Structure 1
Amino acid sequence: MREEYAIDVRDGRLGQIMGREGGRVQLRPPGGGREWDCPPEALGEPTPGDVLRARVRRLNAEARLP
C-alpha cells in the first residue's frame, strides 16, 4: 500500500491521507493518532523532507509496539 501525505495549510499539520468522505479528506498524524477532516482546497503538497520525517515517525511508532 502506498502512503500519501498532505499538508493541512490551515495550520501546517502533516497528515497521512486515510480517505475521503462527504467532500472532505481525512488525515491522520504520522505514526497514528486522531484523524481530522480537511477540505480539499486546504490541502498542500508536502516536501520530500516532510514525507521522510513522517515515514521515520511511523516506523519508530511501530517499533515501540509490543
Structure 2
Amino acid sequence: MSEENTAASQQEPPQVPLLGTLLVDIGHRDRVGEFRGVSGPYWSLRPVCGGTEWEAEPVNVRAADPIERLRAETARCNARSAGRIL
C-alpha cells in the first residue's frame, strides 16, 4: 500500500460545523451555502439567498473565507431589500 493511500484512509472526517455556518462546496463549482444539517453521509447546504437545499460531500466542503462571506452577506442583503427573500 502506498503512503498516499495509507494517509487518505486514515484521514478523519471533517468536523460538523454549527448551523448557519457559511461553507463553500468545491464539488459544485465553489457554490457558497449555509450549513443546515447532516443527511446520511452528506451535509445539507442552502443557498444564501434562499432556494433549494443541496447535499455536499463533507470532503468537498471548506469554510468560506472572509471575502466569500462578505459577498454572500451582501447578496443576501440585496435580495432582502429587493423583496426576493424575507
- Shorter-chain TM-score tier: 0.7 to 0.9
**Which secondary structure does the structure 2 equivalent of 1:6 belong to?**
strand
Distance 2:82 2:63 in 1: 29
Determine the structure 2 residue equivalent to 1:9. Answer: 26
Q: What one-letter code is carried by the residue in structure 2 that aligns with 1:7?
A: V
Q: Which runs of 5+ in 1 are unaligned?
A: none
Determine the structure 2 residue equivalent to 1:38. Answer: 56
The root-mean-square deviation of aligned C-alpha atoms, in Å, is: 1.8
Q: Aligned residue pairs: how many?
A: 65
Q: Percent of counterpart pairs with the same letter?
A: 31
User: Hey, which of these two has a bigger chunk of strand by percent?
Assistant: 1
Q: What one-letter code is carried by the residue in structure 2 that aligns with 1:6?
A: L
Larger RCO, structures 1/2 (Cα 8 Å, 6+ apart): 1
Deviation string, structure 1 residues 2-38 (Cα, Å, up to 9, x no partner): 7311111112111111221212111112211221100
Q: Which runs of 5+ in 2 are unaligned?
A: 1-18
Runs of 4+ in 1 over 4 A off after TM superposition: none
Q: TM-score, normalised by structure 2?
A: 0.66
Q: Which of these two proteins has the greater Rg computed from alpha carbons?
A: 2
Q: What one-letter code is carried by the residue in structure 2 that aligns with 1:9?
A: I
User: Hey, which of these two has a bigger chunk of helix by percent?
Assistant: 2
